Amino acid sequence: MIGFQFVAGGGVLGRDLRWKTCDREYGRARFFEKKNKAVRSFGFEPVKCSLTAGKTAYADVKLPENPNLRRGTLPNGFEYNILPNDSPSGRFEAHLEVFAGSTVEDEDQQGIAHVVEHVAYMGSEKRERLLSGTGASTNAHTDFHHTVFFAACPTYIPRTGRSSMVMALDALLDVMEAKIEPARVEKERAAILSEMLMVNTIEYRVECQLLASLHAENVIPNRFPIGLEEQIKAWTADDVKRFHRTHYRPNNAVLYVAGDFDSVDKVEEEIVKKFSNLKNYPIEKDVAKGTLKETRSRHFPAVVHDWSNLITPLDAPTDVRLFRHELLSSFSLHVYAKNPLQEVKTMSNFR
């Protein structure tokens, strides 16, 4: 949206470069000399700059990455990220992101990504075991583009003193290896139909209308994650299993583990041991080249957007939509300008 931009990170280095960039060579050199100690205190190495014609050469330098971050990719394509962080102490979180949201659903699958979320995690015995007397909490959510499962746990189980990392990773592994049985599907189907009734408020309907207007040119208005009731009632366990087999693949998922744990090496060893045996089954999904979906998920159909033209004449035709409902008690006007997100990867991007 015009006028709004969120930039994550920065620290002392990012803030000062944005606020205090100098035009004079002398002032700039003194600035970087003064800030190097502060930058190192955040765990980063200062960006090295050359001073030529009063301009710094940091434009193409990548933004600094936390030196404690451990990244890896298993032979089957499964990606993982491990970041030690002792605040708060004695806690860690593990998040599994699967790039399968509602926009990958076919016409007869509207809502099935959400069903798979419930069956794979909410119905998991390993998840229930993790929750039993450990002080852990878990949840999951499905949106248009991905499904995320998480576990927030104490580093050690209070009653036994054993690490809960293995149990948390087992629960997330169970998502990828879910046993999709008829009884499990029926139980979660009932929960989803109940959830559908709870969210069907006038506020939710207005939100659906706003998103439908903003994304009228693509599939999003016809793929709200909650799905269609008549289809949810009709699916069999085989239907759910087919969607899971297609999208819950190691090369279509990323694991994030962050928190207070004893050893990054031990966490990585557990991840490698547990997730290396996952298999990628053949699929028949075409992906448009050069799209976000191609780079982040090889198995998504592309979601195409019509971006706003900022030089469109004021008297040009405008798409106006009206939503009325007897439960609405007020009037609101929404004006949109739809523009692509700009990547922030280098110092010049950040400026």
Rg of the chain taking only CA atoms, in angstroms = 24
Cα gap 120→180, rounded to integer Å: 7
Cα gap 304→289, rounded to integer Å: 12
Asked if 4 and 337 count as a contact pair (C-beta separation under 8 A), the reply is no
Q: Are strands 55-56 and 91-98 parallel, antiparallel or unpaired?
A: unpaired
Beta strands in the chain (DSSP E): 51-52, 55-56, 70-73, 79-84, 91-98, 137-142, 147-154, 253-259
Cα gap 236→225, rounded to integer Å: 19
One-letter identity of residue 290: G
Closest to 168 measured CA to CA, from 78, 94, 262, 71: 94
Catalytic residue among 25, 33, 93, 188: 188
Q: Is 117 a catalytic residue?
A: yes
Cα gap 21→24, rounded to integer Å: 9
- Which region holds residue 54: left if phi is over 0, alpha if psi is between -120 and 50, else beta? left
Helices (H) and strands (E) in the chain — how many of each? 12, 8
Closest to 226 measured CA to CA, from 327, 169, 283, 144: 144
219: helix, strand or coil: coil
Catalytic residue among 93, 105, 107, 117: 117
Q: Is 97 a catalytic residue?
A: no
One-letter identity of residue 314: L
Burial class (CB in 10 A: 0-12, 13-18, 19+), 188: buried
Burial class (CB in 10 A: 0-12, 13-18, 19+), 46: middle
What are the residue numbers of the active site? 117, 188
